[in-house]
A and B are shown apart, each in its own frame.
Chain A
Amino acid sequence: MTLVRFGLRLSLRSGREALVRLLLTTVAVAAGVAVLLSVFASYHAFATSNKRPAWEQTQGAVVGTAGDKSAASTAMAELWYFSNDSYQGQTIERLDVAALGPHAPVPPGVSRLPGPGQYYVSPALAVLIRTVPADELGERFPGTEAGTIGDSALTGPTELVIYAGYPPARLSPLENTIVVTRIANGPQTSVWTNYFRYAYGVGALAFMFPILILIGTATRLSAARREQRFAAMRLVGATNRQIGVVAAVDSFVGAVLGSLIGIGGFLLLRPALSDYAIIGAKYFPYTVTPTAWGYIGVLICVPLLSALAAVLALRRVRISPLGVSRRVTPPPPSTWRIAPLVLGIALFAVGLALTTKQSIGTPAYPGLLVVMVGLVTAGPWLTARAAGLFSRLRGTAASLLAARRLTDSPQAAFRSVTGLVLAVFLGTLLAGMMPAINATAATPNATALQNVLLDSFSQDSLGGGAASPAADNGHLDLAQQLQQLEQTRGMSAQAAATLLSELTSRYPDAPVLPIYNAPLKVTGATATGLGRTIVPCAAMTQFPSLGSCPAGASAINTDTSNLMIANPYFSSRPIVTDTTTRSSGDVSGLSLNAILIRPSSPVQLEQVRTFLATHTTASASAAAPETFGEEVQARLNVSNVIQRLFSIAVVLTILIAGCSLAVAVGGGLAERKRPFALLRVSGTGAGTLYRVVLLESVLPLITATIVAAATAYGLAYLAVMKIAPAGTPVPRPSVSYYATVGGGLAASVLVILTVLPILGRITGPENARFE
C-alpha cells in the first residue's frame, strides 16, 4: 500500500516534467478511448438496427394458389403488397395491406392494421408528406394518416416507411400480392451484415494500433529520466517487483484519467456520431452507445492493460542500481526485412494470374495480407535507406544529424507511422480500385440516361425468344397459352393511349419513349414475338444513347429485356442491336411494355413519378419507377460507404501518427536537451536544429506514405487491368483521395511544427550545463 501511495505521489507530484508526461499519456489514452468507444457505439447501433424485426422479408403464399386458399380461410391472414418507392433518391418502403380477418397479424411499430383509406407513416416520411407538394409525393398515398410507425419497425430516424390500408379487392388482382399469416420478426439478413461486422472489427483494430503506439510513445516520454529514478530506487534496495509496482501505478493513473476524459470526449462526439450516416443511414441516438458494459470494460481494462504494459516494458530493460541498460540493442535492419513484402507482391501477382472471369485466384488474398505485414517489417529498413540516401543527396549539417539518428534507430522512427502505412495502403488500394468498380455501374450510357425514368408494366413469364408450353399450363395448347398471356402482359392499348396522352399534355417538355409488346405469332409448335418489343423511331431520337433506327424506319422490332435488368451496366445498353429489325409504325392495339421519360427537373421527376403511381397499376417488378441515375446511385452507395469508412480511417490514422510523431519529437527533444544546448552554445544555429528535428520526423512520415501508396497503387493497377472489363479506364484515385492523404499529411506536419518552439527555449545558452 505504501508503495502504491509512493507511486501515486511520483505520478502526481513530481514536478512539471512528470505532469507533462502524465498529461500526454492522459491525452493519448483519452483519444484512444474516445475512438474505441465510438467504434463500439457505432457497431452497437449497427447491430441493434440489424436486430430490428425484418418485417420487409415476410413471406406468404401468392394470391390464387392452393396455399393462398388455406391461408385465406383463417381469420388470421392479410394481403400484402410490398414495394419500394423513391423520392429524391431516398427509398420509401411501402406496404399496402388489407386485413382478411379480425385477427390479421400486425406489423411492428403500430398497434393495429391500417383500415382501408388509412395509413401509418414513419416520422420522417410524415414530415416529407406534410412539407412537399402533394403532386410530388403525398398523392401517391391516398387516405388519411392514422398515426406514426414506432422505432421497432425502423432502422433509423430518417427511414421512410408507410403502411397503407386497402380493401382486399384492391390488392388481390396485383401480381405480387401475397397472403400473410405470420410476419417475419427475425433479424435483418442483409448480405452486407457480415462484411460490416468484419469491417467494424478490422476498423477497431486499425484504430487501436496507432492509438496504442501513441500511448506507448507518450508513456516512453522522459524514459531516461524515469529510468534514472528507478535506478536510484534500486540502489537503495528496491526490488524489481517494487519498481514494477511504481511503474504500473504511474501508468495506471494516466490510463484512469485518460479513460475518464475519453468517455467525456465520446459523450461529446456521440450526437455527431448518431447524426452522421457513416454507413448510409442514420441511427436512433439512443442506440449509439457502447452500452454499460462497454463503459465498464473500458474503465477496467484500459488502466489494467496499461499497467500491465508498463510492467512488461520494464522486462525489456535491466535496471541496476547503477543505471539502466537495454537487454537487446536492436541491430540495424537487414535487407531480409523486405522479403515478406516481395513475397506478398509475388503471391498477389500469382493470384491475379490465376484469376478468371468467375473468381479471383486464391493466392491473391494471402498475398494482400503478406504485403501488409511486409510493409510493416520493411518499414525500418526503408527508413534507414531513405535516411542514408537523403544524407548523401543533401550534405548539410542538419541532414547529416537527422540521417545519423534515423539510421541508428530506424525502428523507433518508423514505429510512430506504422498505423499510417497500413491506413494509406488500404486507402490507396481502395481509391485505385473503386473508380474502376464504380465505372462498371456508372457507364457513359447510364450517365446519359441519368435523369430518365423507366416504368415497366409487363414481365414475360415465359422469357424471351421462342416459347414452349409452361408446366402448370400443360392442359392448354401453345396458342391458348399465348392468348392468355397477351391479355395479361403490359398495359392495355387503350389505357396506354390515355396514359401517353396525359403525360404529353401534362409534361410537354418531358420526352417519352413508349415501348410496346410486339404481337405474338404462332408457327406450328413455335411461338415468336415473346421478348420482342416495338419502339417508335420518332421518340427514339430523344434518347440517342439507346441507338439509332435504320434510315427511313418508322419503328423497330427489338429485344428490350436488358432495360429491365436491375444493373445499369446492362440496362443502359443500346436497344438497337444486331437482331433489331424494321417494323411498321403501327402500334395501335399493342399493349404497352414500358415507358422511358426524361423529366426536365427534379420537381417534375417526382411529379411524373407520382402521376405514374396514381394512374397505372403497380409495375410488374413491385418497384416504383426509378431513373437510371438512381439505379447507379444504389450501386454506388455501398462502395461510397466503404470509401467513406476508409477515408475516416486514413484521416484519423494520419492525424494520430502525426500526434505520435509530435510526442516522440517532444520526448526526444527533452532527452537531448543537453547536447542540443551545447550545439547551440558552440555556434550551431537554431534553424539547423529545427531542420534536424523536422527531418527526423517528416522523413519517416513521407517515406512511409510514399511506399505504402505506391505499393497499393501498383496492386490496384494490376487488379483492375486483370479483373475489370475491357475498356475500363486505368485506375486513377479521385481528387478526394489526394485531398484526404495530402490534408492528413499537412495536418501531421502542422502538429509536429507545434512542438518545435520548445526547441528554441530548451536549447538556449542559459540552459546549457557543462558538468
Chain B
Amino acid sequence: MSAVVATPGGSAPTRILEARDVHRSFGSTPALRGANLGLAAGETLAVMGPSGSGKSTLLHCLAGIYSPDQGEVRFNGRRLDTLSDAARSKLRRTEFGFVFQFGQLVPELTAADNIALPLLLGRTGRRAAYQQADVWLGRLGLEGLGGRRTGELSGGQAQRVAIARALVARPRVLFADEPTGSLDSLTGEQVMEILVGLVREEGTSVILVTHDARIAAYADRAVMVRDGKVSADLDAGVTHR
C-alpha cells in the first residue's frame, strides 16, 4: 500500500468528495474555521486530531449531516450542502455508509434486520434485501448471528454488523467515526482489518476519523485537524505496513 501525499486541499485529480473553506459553529463556539479537504476515489483518508479539534464536525459536514455555515461541500462535483433534506437522505442511503463508535444500530432489530434496513428503505424487495444481508453476514464472519438483537452481540460483533450495514448498499464513500473507539485494541484491529479489506474489494472511499495513530495507520493518507482547520498531511499507512 502506498500513501497518497497531498496538500490539505487535496490534489488528486479524481476527487469524489471535497470540502472548501467550510465554517461551522455551534452557538458561539466555532468548530470548523475554514476547513479544506479532498478525498480521492478509492482512497482511505484518516482524519486525526485532539478532542474538540473539529474532526467529527468535519466528517458530519462532508456526509451532509450538518450544513456548513460558510463554504461548500461537493460530492462528485455537485454541491451537497445545498441539497434538500430528502436528497441528502437519499444520498446517505445510496452513496454513503456510516460506521460510528456505537449507537448507530437500531436496538430493536436483529443483526440481519439492521443490515437489510438501508435496502428496505431504498425499496429493495424484502427477500432480496435479506439475501444481501445474509451475504454480508457471511463476509463479516457473523454466520448464525443474523437473528440476534444488537444487545445480544459483543462490541466487536456489533461493529461488524455496522460495517456490513454501511457497505450493503455498496456506497461510494464510507464515513467511519472512531469505529474502534469502544473496542479493545485486539478487537479493534480485527475490525479495522475487515473494514479495510472490504473497502478495498468494493473500491469504496473512506473517511476515517480517529485519534488513534494505530488505527490511522490503516489509511492511505492522514490529515490533522487543529482548531477547526485541516492543518497538515501526515504520512500514514506506511508506518503500519
Which residues of A come within 8 Å of B, CB atoms?
A: 2-3, 5-6, 9-10, 14-15, 17-18, 225, 228-229, 232-242, 320-322, 771
A–B Cβ pairs within 8 angstroms, 10 of them = A2-B126, A15-B149, A18-B108, A228-B107, A235-B92, A236-B92, A236-B98, A237-B94, A240-B86, A771-B182
B198–chain A nearest beta-carbon distance, Å: 17
Task: Give the residues in chain A near B90, CB-CB below 8 Å.
Answer: 237, 239
> Could you tell me if A237 and B108 are in contact, using CB atoms closer than 8 angstroms?
no
Stretch with Cβ within 8 A of A (4 or more), from B4-12, B32-40, B117-125: B117-125
- State in angstroms the CA–CA spacing of A9 and B108 once bound together: 10
Judging by beta carbons under 8 Å apart, are A239 and B86 in contact?
A: yes
Does the CB pair A232–B126 fall under 8 Å? no
Contact of B108 with A2 in the complex, beta carbons under 8 Å = no
B85 at interface, CB cutoff 8 A? yes
- Asked if A236 and B165 make an inter-chain contact with CB atoms under 8 angstroms apart, the answer reads yes
Question: Beyond A18-B108, A237-B122, A238-B121: 16 further Cβ-contacts under 8 Å?
Answer: A2-B126, A6-B120, A10-B108, A10-B109, A229-B106, A232-B106, A233-B106, A235-B104, A236-B92, A236-B117, A236-B118, A237-B89, A237-B94, A238-B93, A321-B98, A771-B182
User: Is B65 interfacial (CB 8 A cutoff)?
Assistant: yes
- Shortest beta-carbon distance, B22 to chain A, in Å? 17
Which of B65, B98, B103, B120 sits near A2, CB closer than 8 Å?
Answer: B120
B165 — which chain A residues lie within 8 A by C-beta? 236
User: What B residues does A771 contact at CB under 8 A?
Assistant: 182
* Residue contact B126 to A242, C-beta cutoff 8 Å: no
Whether, in the assembled complex, B105 has its beta carbon less than 8 Å from a beta carbon of chain A, the answer is yes
When each residue 200-241 of chain B gets 1 if its CB lies under 8 Å from chain A and 0 otherwise, what string results? 000000000000000000000000000000000000000000
Contact A15 B92 (CB under 8 A): no
Q: Chain B residues near A242: list those with CB within 8 A.
A: 121
Interface residues of B in 64-106 (CB under 8 A from A): 65, 85-86, 89-94, 96, 98, 100, 103-106
B121 CB to nearest A CB, Å: 5
In the assembled complex, B15 has its CB within 8 A of some CB on chain A = no
A764 to chain B minimum Cβ distance, whole angstroms, is 18
In this complex, how many residues of chain B approach chain A with their Cβ under 8 Å: the count is 34
Which residues from chain B sit less than 8 Å from chain A, CB to CB? Answer: 60, 63, 65, 85-86, 89-94, 96, 98, 100, 103-109, 113, 117-118, 120-123, 125-126, 149, 165, 169, 182
Query: Is A235 a contact partner of B98 (Cβ separation < 8 A)?
Result: yes
Residues of A within 8 A of B63 (CB): 321
Closest residue to A239 on the B side, CB-wise?
A: B89
In the complex, chain A residues whose CB is within 8 Å of the CB of B96: 237
Cβ-closest chain B residue relative to A18: B108
Cα A225 to Cα B91 with chains together (Å): 25
Given A5-B126, A15-B149, A771-B182, CB of A237 within 8 Å of CB of B93: yes
Given A237-B94, A239-B85, are A232 and B104 also a contact pair (CB < 8 Å)? yes
A236 and B107 within 8 A (CB): no
Is A2's CB under 8 angstroms from B123's CB? yes
Instruction: Check B107–A229 contact: CB distance below 8 A.
Output: yes
Expressed in whole angstroms, the Cα–Cα distance for A771 and B182 within the complex equals: 9
CB-CB under 8 A for A237 and B121, given A2-B126, A18-B108: yes
In the assembly, what is the distance between CA of A356 and CA of B41, in Å?
89
Which chain A positions have C-beta within 8 A of B94?
237
Which residue in chain B gives the minimum CB-CB distance to A238?
B121
Whether the Cβ atoms of A14 and B98 lie closer than 8 Å is no
Query: Which B-chain residue is minimally distant from A237 (CB atoms)?
Result: B93
- Given the complex, which residues of B lie within 8 Å of A234, measured CB to CB? 89, 92
Chain A residues whose CB sits within 8 angstroms of the CB of B92 once the complex forms? 234-237, 321
Which residue of B is nearest A11, CB measured? B108
CB-CB under 8 A from A9, the residues of chain B are: 113
Give B165's nearest chain A residue, CB to CB. Answer: A236
The interface residues of chain A lying within 8 Å CB-to-CB of B103 are 228, 232
Contact A15:B123 (CB < 8 A) given known A235-B92, A321-B98: no
Closest to B182 in A: A771
Specify which chain B residues have a CB less than 8 angstroms from the CB of A240 in the assembled complex.
Answer: 85-86, 89
Separation in Å of the B73 CB from the closest CB of chain A? 15
Measured between C-beta atoms, what is the minimum distance from A448 to chain B in Å? Answer: 73
Known: A235-B98, A237-B90, A237-B122. A229 touches B65 (CB 8 A): no
List of B residues within 8 angstroms of A239 by Cβ:
85-86, 89-90
Please give, as numbers and ranges, the residues of chain B lying within 8 Å of A6 by CB-CB distance.
120
Question: A226 — nearest CB in chain B belongs to which residue?
Answer: B108
CA distance A350 to B103 in the complex (A): 60
Q: Are B123 and A229 in contact (CB under 8 A)?
A: no
Contact A14 to B109, CB < 8 A, known contacts A235-B98, A236-B117, A236-B118: yes
User: How far apart are the CA atoms of A239 and B103 in the complex, in Å?
Assistant: 19
Task: List, in ascending order, chain A residues with CB within 8 A of B108's CB.
Answer: 10, 14-15, 17-18, 229
Q: Note all chain A residues with C-beta closer than 8 A to B86.
A: 239-241
Chain B minimum-CB-distance residue to A234: B89
Name the distance in Å between B113's Cβ and chain A's nearest Cβ.
8
Cα(A235)–Cα(B104), bound, Å: 7
**Contact between chains at B60 and A236 (CB < 8 Å):** no
Q: Pick from B60, B89, B117, B121: contact of A322, CB below 8 A.
A: B60
A238 partner residues in chain B, CB cutoff 8 A? 89, 93, 121
The answer to whether B65 and A320 touch across the interface, beta carbons within 8 angstroms, is yes
**In the docked arrangement, what's the CA distance between A10 and B109, Å?**
7
Residue of A nearest to B149 (CB): A15
Taken together as a complex, chains A and B put the C-alpha atoms of A15 and B85 apart, in Å, by 31
Kindly report which residue of chain A lies nearest to residue B94, judged by CB atoms: A237
Most buried by A among B60, B89, B94, B109: B89
Complex Cα–Cα for A15 and B151 (A): 11
- Which 10 A-B pairs give the minimum distances between C-beta atoms? A237-B93, A14-B108, A237-B92, A239-B89, A236-B118, A232-B106, A229-B106, A321-B65, A238-B121, A239-B86
CB distance from B168 to the nearest CB of A (A): 9
CB distance from A379 to the nearest CB of B (A): 32
A235–B166 alpha-carbon span in the complex (Å)? 10
Q: Could you say which residues of chain B place their CB within 8 Å of the CB of A229?
A: 106-108
Question: Smallest CB-CB separation from A230: which chain B residue?
Answer: B106
B65 touches A322 (CB 8 A): yes
Q: Across the two chains, which residue of chain B brings its CB closest to A9?
A: B113
* Complex contacts, A5 vs chain B, CB 8 Å: 126
CB distance from A766 to the nearest CB of B (A): 15
What is the CA–CA distance of A2 and B125 in the complex, to the nearest angstrom?
8
**Which residue of the partner chain, among A225, A235, A241, A321, contacts B107 with CB atoms under 8 Å?**
A225
Contacts of B106 in A (CB 8 A): 229, 232-233
A55 to B187, CA, bound (A): 89
Complex contacts, A235 vs chain B, CB 8 Å: 92, 98, 100, 104
Q: How far is the CA of A238 from the CA of B106 in the complex (A)?
A: 12
Residues on B with beta carbons closer than 8 Å to the beta carbon of A15: 108, 149
Q: Find chain B residues with CB under 8 A from A18 CB.
A: 108
| B182: A residues at CB distance < 8 A | 771
* Bound: A322/B93 CA distance, A: 15
CA distance A17 to B149 in the complex (A): 13
Most buried by B among A239, A241, A320, A771: A239
Which of chain A's residues have a CB closer than 8 A to the CB of B93?
Answer: 236-238
Distance of A9 Cα from B129 Cα, bound (Å): 15
With both chains docked as a complex, state the minimum distance between the C-beta of B1 and any C-beta of chain A, in angstroms. Answer: 29
Residue of A nearest to B129 (CB): A2
In the complex the two chains form, what is the Cα distance from A261 to B104 in whole Å? 36
Q: Are B121 and A233 in contact (CB under 8 A)?
A: yes
Most B CB within 10 A of own CB, among A18, A228, A229, A237:
A237
Query: How many angstroms between the C-alpha atoms of A232 and B92 in the bound complex?
Result: 12
Residues of A within 8 A of B100 (CB): 235
Give Cα distance in the complex from A2 to B103, angstroms: 24
B residues within 8 A CB of A225? 107
Alpha-carbon distance between A242 and B90 when the two chains are bound, in angstroms: 11
Chain B residue at smallest Cβ distance from A236: B118
User: CA–CA, A9 to B149, complex, Å?
Assistant: 13
Measured in the bound complex, the distance between the Cα atoms of B63 and A380 in whole Å is 41
Closest A residue to B84 by CB, please name it.
A239
Q: In the complex the two chains form, what is the Cα distance from A225 to B151 in whole Å? A: 13
Q: Give chain A residues whose Cβ lies under 8 Å from the Cβ of B120.
A: 2-3, 6
Q: Please indicate the chain B residues that have their CB under 8 angstroms from the CB of A10 in the complex.
A: 108-109
